[in-house]
Amino acid sequence: MAETCYSKGKKVILVPGQKDNGTWVCQFTIPELKESEIGKYQGHPPGEYKTEQEAMMAAFAYAKKILVSSN
């Protein structure tokens, strides 16, 4: 299930998912940034995580780094 968070006034959508091996990953999208740069602002952090919460926290931290560097 997707979760919406905010950082620096921008929406970050997190979509976690469990892999067949039981580990978790989490995709993110920052929809409010320029559409021409969308490839840069969607994806997921490298790695797999033991829990859904760890995956979501990693994805949100990764998205926040992108927001900081986009200013």
Residue 40: band (very low, low, confident or very high) from pLDDT cuts 50, 70, 90: low
pTM, two decimal places: 0.84
CB 40 within 8 A of CB 66: yes
Tokens of 30: 């920052």
Given this model, what pLDDT does residue 37 score? 53
Given this model, what pLDDT does residue 59 score? 95
Q: Is the pLDDT of residue 39 over 70?
A: no
Q: What is the 3-state secondary structure (H, E, C) of 1-68?
A: CCEEEEECCEEEEEEEEECCCCCEEEEEECCCCCHHHHHHHEECCCCCECCHHHHHHHHHHHHHHHHH
Give me the number of domains the chain comprises.
1
Residue 33: band (very low, low, confident or very high) from pLDDT cuts 50, 70, 90: confident
- Which residues constitute the domain of residue 62? 3-69
